[in-house]
Structure 1
Amino acid sequence: MSAPPSRLGVALVGYAFMGAAHSQAWRTAGRFFDLPYEVDRRVLCGRDREAATAAASRLGWTEVVTDWRALLDRDDVQLVDICTPGDSHAEIAVAALEAGKHVLCEKPLANTVAEAERMAATAARAAGRGVRSMVGFNYRRVPALALARKLVAAGRLGEIRHVRAQYLQDWIVDPTFPLVWRLQKERAGSGALGDIGAHIVDAAQFVIGQRIRGVNAMTETFVRRRPLPTASAGLSASAGSDATGPVTVDDAALFLARFDGGALGSFEATRFATGRKNALRLEVNGSKGSLVFDFDAMNELQVYDGSAPADEAGFTRIQVTEPTHPYMAAWWPPGHLIGYEHTFTHEVVDLLGDIAAGRDPEPSFADGLQVQRVLAAVEESAADEGRWTGCGDDPAAGTAATNRRL
């Protein structure tokens, strides 16, 4: 790579919801954090030149290309940020890493275990050449969840016994909502399971420092056919048409889990929780205490100290806005809150720090592969009437080779 040490050129592939969130992060990070590089938001890539040009102007990117392959030979691009649907993650990430570009890839890492294995193997080879990669599980960068991880790692909760994780949304409750790409397996890989369930799998494992080794699952698709979207908007049904198409992903996924450190877990991911817009909740119970995180109050962490006398016992609300809390020293005075978009800024800050230090970022593509194996095990368990299914952690084997009754 030929970039001068002080400057890093970034190319963004995709410019919708996640592309906008990542653009905000690249624009903001250097204004609040001391970065090891000056970030050059060099290129935005999208298939529709007119729409991509409008997005680049709005989001602050210098140039536009319509084919991501054009990024691979550019000396002014050192990092490729992938914000496309899952069906293109593997092709873009593998090619970018082999071309010597650092890669940030949105979650879930891929649509299949086989794709994720290829991406992780490519990332491992690239790391030997100093080329870094990271998968974008942004909720790790919520300061309250980062604090939760620190408390668990310090032994404040004792032996971890239970984890309860929920991610609840309601944006497709209406059966007339159109058949967008997130409802098509060939584009998205899975439904609520991969879209939001992947987040709580990663968050739970991140906080307690244990990995899921087996699951017992069920999934359901409540609305099995939906109106075809308009060709232009993609978010409204075709006017005056009765044309519909099949929904080929899950609407909801529920599963039990065993962790490799002995903890038990219950997980629920649904896009049919009427009234819930983006409700992520994590509770951890240990032998010495408990903690609760609720994204609806994302600047808070509830902590229970089991050693307190009975007449003083209760959950304590920690407002995670002190400069000693993770990431918060760069922002506002104590008591002033931050929001969802800041998690992506923290993601960028950590990634750039790791690149500059020659460290492998976390979560790595190997971490993304492990989550992918959990998702695959959930689907397999649900398809086999909920049998206990192993998550296939052996990097040399796919899930099918390691599934077993637990």
Structure 2
Amino acid sequence: MTTYDYLIIGHGIAGATLAHELRRRGRTVLVLDTYQTDSASNVAAGLMNPVAGKRFALAWRADDFLTAAATFYRELEQRFGQQFFFETPILKLFSSVAEQNTLLARSADHPWQNFVEELAPSLPPAPGVRQDFGGVRIRRGGYLAVRELLVALAAEGLEQGWLRRETFDWNQLVVGPASASYAGDVHARRVVCCEGAAAVHNPYFDWLPLTPNQGEVIDVECSGLADTQVLNKGAYVLPLGAARFRVGATYRWPPFAEGTTEEARAELSQRLASMTDQPFVVLAQRAGVRPAVRDRKPLLGVHPATPVMSILNGFGSKGVMLAPLLAGHFADVLEGHAELWPEVNILRYHALYVAARKEGGFSS
């Protein structure tokens, strides 16, 4: 039996960043993961946007998260000699005069000023971009090549032996008061659950309000569209190079169909057409399932009754921006060097745990 400090379940963006952070600190880690082409991390375009949504709200702790993410991904780029992080301006296009007027009126005293490069009813023309009502140029945003980064980390993990490609079987996990064993050959001081939307089947954390949410993206070829920025207007358009772009993403709550749908393809094509006057061809379409949380804050913490078990999950559509800082923070918490931020602490849902325990709905 091999002993590890941490057994991590899942190697999406959450599990991968935590494993890297713990190994950087000299801890022994084993990650168990089943590669899934439709996982949220593999489908995600990796957009990092400090100001988003219909209300144009500043993201929670945007400066802290963006700074930590840029540093983390730049270090990995140097390590692997490959670019993963693309810091690119985001052009938020107004969809109506009403939206234009609302944001212009709010701009004088709104806290997102440090992230806004330009906000105007008309902007300099960009090839192929429809700018009927003007827009906002957002700085410090960009995107991460998530799949390429995870492939690089996984290749290293498989070669060095800290990553195994296998399906985790809860029936083979034996949890004690101070450690856990798995499949008869693994012993770990802690188990960290980072399995994304699959956490709804986790017997220790299935009381948390995590709901799978399906998103679809399309890759298109559009030779006449400028590729110097990310476009955003009800959907994002990310430049991939060679006149290719990724458009996404849809949001569907259960029940939803498995795989891609014609409905999502039509919706994304229509949204792209509202942002460009150039013809385009759809090259590919993919669907994935995100782990969404009721209050839109991630789920971090130690199980209330079984301290060997912990969770890092619930990043929704903001995983690439949130994961580096939260992985470092959670590593500090697990090592006893910090108190968990209350905004992400699973104890905010302790009442749900108590209710589930009374119903006998889970194993611990």
Provide TM-score, normalisation by structure 2.
0.31
Structure with more strand by fraction: 2
Provide TM-score, normalisation by structure 1.
0.29
